[in-house]
């Protein structure tokens, strides 16, 4: 059992510091160069999906199930077979789904932009005409969500994350009393960055919210719906659309998903699911902004995966490829930092991240130390609205993109930086 | 030489009417079913590009020129080789270009939406904060342009079209005196629906505009940049970006183009070109709304076409396929309506449409008669802002999608309907 840093005498810490600094110097000389700031699939994951590039060629049939020529204009809200596939991934039904281009982030941006310019529904006030609009942001969370709401001048309120989802007591209270709160960001399964999955109770309470604002919507970014690290024992979350219907709140939620981390990051397909009433407003905007999305790519996805089982087979391959990377990081963190009481970290069952909690006031310095040694991590603070992590503790680790060898070396460097900064911190006292 | 309808005696017209009605009855029995409401490529055009589906397969190299893995996230504003290709199509340079997804219409929508929510530049007022925003709409024009400005509550002012572009005298006067005019829709080459190309003088006067509003922009939809019906004698228009620079107005224009009518309608690539200052504002929005567009499809286009010559070869094939359709319509119009003085029509050198001018107050009735007989044309009025053609004369004919046989029969039906409605009109007097 290692001795916690905080229980060590000053001289011990000074000695340790000298030793760590020496090691850091040596590591720096090795000249690492690695950008692991984003949750990007690794090259081996991309290589594992290349068969998709062979299902459509010059000899293929490009007719959709419903008889559309996928090469021409039309089918504005997606081809039926792609709606079915995306519905299966989200756990909902095809008639609730619109299939877009390659980016679910763009759908979310468009959605907020639409509400800002035209209102959530025809009978609600466009947000640009309101004094203030507020948004609930479970944090740590996804920086790109926060960037969208920030861009529209929406005031973001931090909601703490619990082990089974965001703090529902706070959320229920806030939305019931404040009409200016118009939405909440949620990553319900394997949340970014903590890998937390919402319990059935959290999903049901979310679906049963009684917001003061009639135009309040849950932005349910189901980004990791099938991204289990152990596909034989997937975490299952409730279908939010059904839960909302059961709670008498059918229009409360917009759900989003994409195949960016199933097929190709950037050349996947993305979708939104919502109630018929919500879809009516959405289709009205769509009908002005486009004649239709890339249906050939939609068809390519369906022809390759065929159905949800096909998707799950691909996700098993991914799991085989990325589980060793997650395990390597977790083992090194345990080996290097276990018992030292200078940090805690999540052990996710899926998704793309490990979330690390450093000692207070240490996250920025740790990330800076890593960068100085050639490893770019996600900016400290990025996981909180306005990039402001109030205690400066959270660091997002993205193990998927580097090779196993690289991630192993990086995790060691990271642990070293954590130790170094923590010792400095303790010596300040 | 046929006798003009207006010179015929009432009895003659009554006799003619009876005869035309008899023929119309017979034609209706034939049970036509054809939707030619949109400018869609024909199946033979789509078949002629299928080789593009073979250039990328599971064995291909997906690295871009600059070393990006086109299968992964990144390269937000497009891959360099695609910028070069789209720049060549637009007649500009790659550093001025951003490559997007499949739809240039979406880029235009996003652009207007961005100006509405955030202003054209950081130091200009977002349009949603202004009392009124106005827009110049050369008409007849493209209905989907007008639909975008209408959606944002922008007041549209009709500008008459001349033989070499919109009425520049009016435009110069209006933009100089009215600060609430923030933009103009232009289709500078083979305009939709008249097929008019802007003369050098019009382009130069456009580039030299002195708008009262600093945030006025020309929306230059170069949709038919390489869409010549006689590719050996293409119409050449000036590069608007250079013209603006020369006039000391480098930031005055946003240019748009896509390959929707070169490769696949719906699975092409689209681009925008603008000055460095404009691109800065645009990239700022892009950085929030997406991680990047479909780079595999960008790469597919470049690998297939290689360069502008490759694009032009494809357009020669298109010209061979659609010229006979345009000619068939023009011949039938001449044969059936020549000398009758009940309509005029354009004889375009490129683009996707023939524009027909009926007698005043007849366009809606003609389109209705066609529909009654099973042929859906573009809605009369659609070519004017708010769907309101003040004289009810303009009809857009889209010959590309039907087969040669279908378009021949349709043109005959159309001519019959024109005659029938015109006779009725003359008998009303």
> Does residue A256 surpass a pLDDT of 90?
yes
Beta carbons of A103 and B72 less than 8 Å apart = no
User: What average pLDDT does chain B have?
Assistant: 97
**What pLDDT does A176 receive?**
98
> Does residue B21 surpass a pLDDT of 90?
yes
Cα–Cα distance, B115 to B108 (Å, whole number): 11
Nearest-neighbour CA in chain B from A128: distance (Å): 7
Give the pLDDT confidence of B223-232 residue by residue, as tens digits: 999 999 999 9
Q: Is A217 in a helix, a strand, or coil?
A: strand
Candidates B33, B70, B72, partner chain A, best to mutate (most A CBs within 10 A): B72
Whether omega for the bond prior to residue A8 falls within 30 degrees of 0, making it cis, is: no
Instruction: Pick B113's closest partner by Cβ from A69, A117, A267.
Output: A117
Instruction: Pick B109's closest partner by Cβ from A38, A126, A288.
Output: A288
Cα–Cα distance, B329 to A107 (Å, whole number): 42
**What pLDDT does A35 receive?**
86
Are the C-beta atoms of residues B237 and B220 closer than 8 Å to each other?
A: no
Are the C-beta atoms of residues B71 and A267 closer than 8 Å to each other?
A: yes
Q: Which tokens go with A308?
A: 């949800």
> Does residue A1 surpass a pLDDT of 80?
no
Between chain A and chain B, how many beta carbons pairs sit less than 8 Å apart? 165
Give the pLDDT confidence of A156-172 residue by residue, as tens digits: 999 999 999 999 999 99
Q: Quick one: closest CA in B to A267, which residue?
A: B294
Phi, psi for A413 (deg, rounded to 5): -60, -45
B400 vs A: CB within 8 A: no
Nearest-neighbour CA in chain B from A70: distance (Å): 8
Are the C-beta atoms of residues B74 and A46 closer than 8 Å to each other?
A: no
Percent of chain B with pLDDT over 90: 97
Q: Quick one: closest CA in B to A111, which residue?
A: B289
pLDDT-derived band of residue B213, with 50, 70 and 90 as boundaries? very high
Query: Between residues 110 and 139 of chain B, which touch chain A (CB distance below 8 Å)?
Result: 110, 113, 116-118, 126, 128-129
Angle at A270 between CA A214 and CA A299, to 5 degrees: 135
Give the pLDDT confidence of B90-133 residue by residue, as tens digits: 999 999 999 999 999 999 999 999 999 999 999 999 999 999 99
A142 vs B: CB within 8 A: no
B40 vs A: CB within 8 A: yes
Phi, psi for A302 (deg, rounded to 5): -70, -40
Nearest-neighbour CA in chain B from A192: distance (Å): 16
B335 vs A: CB within 8 A: no
Answer yes or no: is the ipTM higher than 0.90: yes
pLDDT-derived band of residue B18, with 50, 70 and 90 as boundaries? very high
**What pLDDT does A381 receive?**
95
Give the pLDDT confidence of A52-62 residue by residue, as tens digits: 999 999 999 99
**What pLDDT does B36 receive?**
85
Which residue(s) pair with A99 in the sheet? A271
Q: Quick one: closest CA in A to B77, which residue?
A: A266
B38 vs A: CB within 8 A: yes
Beta carbons of B294 and A296 less than 8 Å apart = no
Cα–Cα distance, B7 to B48 (Å, whole number): 48
> Does residue A185 surpass a pLDDT of 80?
yes
Beta carbons of A58 and B50 less than 8 Å apart = yes
Which residue(s) pair with A181 in the sheet? A134
**What pLDDT does A75 receive?**
92
pLDDT-derived band of residue B185, with 50, 70 and 90 as boundaries? very high
Question: Measured over all CA atoms, what is the biggest interatomic distance in chain B, rounded to whole angstroms?
Answer: 78
Cα–Cα distance, A400 to A224 (Å, whole number): 14
- All residues of chain A having their beta carbon less than 8 Å from the beta carbon of residue B70 are 266-267
Mean pLDDT for A322-334 is: 98
Beta carbons of A267 and B102 less than 8 Å apart = no
Cα–Cα distance, A80 to A63 (Å, whole number): 12
> Does residue B313 surpass a pLDDT of 90?
yes
Beta carbons of B288 and A144 less than 8 Å apart = yes
Strands (E) located in A165-261: 165-166, 181-186, 217-221, 253-258
B386 vs A: CB within 8 A: no
**Length of chain A counted residue by residue:** 429
- Residue A37 or B358, more confident: B358
Cα–Cα distance, B420 to B428 (Å, whole number): 13
**What pLDDT does A268 receive?**
97
Nearest by Cα to A183 from A225, A144, A214, A139: A214
B211 vs A: CB within 8 A: no
Which residue(s) pair with B185 in the sheet? B219
Instruction: Pick B267's closest partner by Cβ from A40, A103, A297.
Output: A297
Which residue(s) pair with A137 in the sheet? A158
**What pLDDT does A199 receive?**
98
Q: Which tokens go with A356?
A: 């690390």
**What pLDDT does A208 receive?**
98
Nearest-neighbour CA in chain A from B344: distance (Å): 30
DSSP string, B119-146: -SSTTS--GGGSS--EEEEEES--HHHH
pLDDT-derived band of residue A429, with 50, 70 and 90 as boundaries? confident
- All residues of chain A having their beta carbon less than 8 Å from the beta carbon of residue B59 are 50
**What pLDDT does A107 receive?**
97
- All residues of chain A having their beta carbon less than 8 Å from the beta carbon of residue B285 are 151
SS3 of A314-344: the string is HHHHHHHHHHHHHHHHHHHHHHHHCCCCCEE
Give the pLDDT confidence of A257-289 residue by residue, as tens digits: 999 999 999 899 999 999 999 999 999 999 999
Are the C-beta atoms of residues B296 and A267 closer than 8 Å to each other?
A: yes
**What pLDDT does A315 receive?**
98
Mean pLDDT for B128-149 is: 98
**What pLDDT does A324 receive?**
98
Beta carbons of A264 and B296 less than 8 Å apart = yes
Instruction: Pick B102's closest partner by Cβ from A56, A58, A294.
Output: A294
**What pLDDT does B223 receive?**
98
**What pLDDT does A37 receive?**
87
Cα–Cα distance, A221 to A256 (Å, whole number): 5
Beta carbons of A297 and B297 less than 8 Å apart = yes
pLDDT-derived band of residue A63, with 50, 70 and 90 as boundaries? very high
User: What average pLDDT does chain A have?
Assistant: 97
**What pLDDT does A254 receive?**
98
Cα–Cα distance, B37 to B58 (Å, whole number): 39
Angle at A67 between CA A64 and CA A73, to 5 degrees: 75
Nearest-neighbour CA in chain B from A261: distance (Å): 9
Are the C-beta atoms of residues A395 and A378 closer than 8 Å to each other?
A: yes
Angle at A221 between CA A183 and CA A323, to 5 degrees: 145
pLDDT-derived band of residue B35, with 50, 70 and 90 as boundaries? confident
Beta carbons of A292 and B266 less than 8 Å apart = yes
Beta carbons of A73 and B40 less than 8 Å apart = yes
> Does residue B31 surpass a pLDDT of 80?
yes
**What pLDDT does A28 receive?**
94
Beta carbons of B106 and A73 less than 8 Å apart = no
Cα–Cα distance, B345 to A130 (Å, whole number): 50
Instruction: Pick B266's closest partner by Cβ from A144, A264, A294.
Output: A294
Termini Cα distance of chain A? 25
Q: Quick one: closest CA in B to A77, which residue?
A: B266
**What pLDDT does B200 receive?**
98
Q: Quick one: closest CA in B to A151, which residue?
A: B288
Beta carbons of B267 and A71 less than 8 Å apart = yes
Instruction: Look up the pTM and report it.
Output: 0.97
Termini Cα distance of chain B? 25
**What pLDDT does B208 receive?**
98
Candidates B39, B53, B71, partner chain A, best to mutate (most A CBs within 10 A): B71
Which residue(s) pair with B97 in the sheet? B273
**What pLDDT does A277 receive?**
97
- All residues of chain A having their beta carbon less than 8 Å from the beta carbon of residue B265 are 71-73, 291
> Does residue A204 surpass a pLDDT of 90?
yes
Give the pLDDT confidence of A377-409 residue by residue, as tens digits: 999 999 999 999 999 999 999 999 999 999 999
A270 vs B: CB within 8 A: no
Cα–Cα distance, B251 to A253 (Å, whole number): 41
């Amino acid at each position: 059992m290692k001795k916690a840093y905080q229980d060590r005498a000053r001289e011990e810490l000074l000695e340790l510091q000298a030793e760590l600094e020496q090691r850091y110097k040596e590591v720096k000389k090795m000249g690492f160069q690695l950008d692991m700031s984003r949750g990007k699939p690794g090259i081996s994951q991309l290589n594992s999906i290349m068969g998709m590039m062979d299902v459509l060629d010059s000899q293929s049939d490009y007719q959709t199930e419903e008889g559309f020529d996928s090469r021409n204009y039309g089918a504005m809200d997606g081809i039926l077979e792609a709606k079915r596939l995306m519905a299966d991934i989200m756990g909902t039904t095809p008639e609730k789904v619109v299939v877009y281009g390659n980016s679910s982030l763009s759908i979310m941006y468009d959605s907020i932009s639409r509400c800002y310019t035209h209102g959530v529904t025809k009978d609600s006030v466009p947000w640009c005409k309101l004094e203030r609009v507020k948004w609930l942001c479970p944090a740590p969370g996804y920086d790109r969500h926060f960037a969208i709401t920030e861009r529209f001048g929406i005031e973001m309120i931090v909601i703490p994350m619990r082990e089974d989802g965001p703090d529902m007591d706070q959320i229920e209270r806030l939305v019931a009393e404040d009409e200016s709160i118009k939405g909440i960001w949620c990553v319900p399964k394997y949340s970014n960055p903590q890998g937390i999955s919402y319990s059935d109770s959290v999903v049901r309470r979310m679906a049963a919210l009684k917001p003061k604002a009639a135009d309040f919507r849950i932005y349910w970014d189901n980004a990791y719906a099938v991204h289990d690290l152990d596909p034989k024992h997937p975490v299952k979350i409730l279908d939010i659309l059904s839960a909302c219907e059961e709670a008498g709140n059918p229009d409360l939620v917009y759900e989003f998903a994409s195949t960016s981390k199933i097929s190709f990051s950037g050349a996947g397909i993305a979708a939104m699911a919502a109630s018929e009433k919500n879809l009516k407003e959405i289709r009205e905007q769509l009908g002005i902004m486009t004649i239709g999305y890339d249906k050939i790519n939609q068809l390519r996805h369906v022809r390759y995966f065929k159905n949800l089982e096909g998707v799950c087979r691909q996700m098993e391959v991914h799991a085989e490829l990325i589980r060793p990377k997650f395990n390597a990081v977790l083992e090194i963190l345990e080996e290097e930092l276990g018992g030292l009481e200078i940090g805690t970290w999540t052990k996710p069952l899926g998704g793309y991240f490990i979330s690390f909690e450093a000692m207070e006031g240490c996250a920025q310095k740790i990330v800076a130390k890593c960068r100085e040694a050639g490893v770019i991590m996600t900016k400290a603070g990025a996981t909180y609205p306005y990039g402001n992590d109030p205690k400066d503790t959270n660091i997002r680790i993205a193990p998927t993109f580097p090779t196993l060898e690289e991630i192993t070396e990086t995790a060691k460097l990271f642990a070293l930086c954590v130790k170094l900064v923590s010792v400095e911190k303790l010596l300040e006292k």
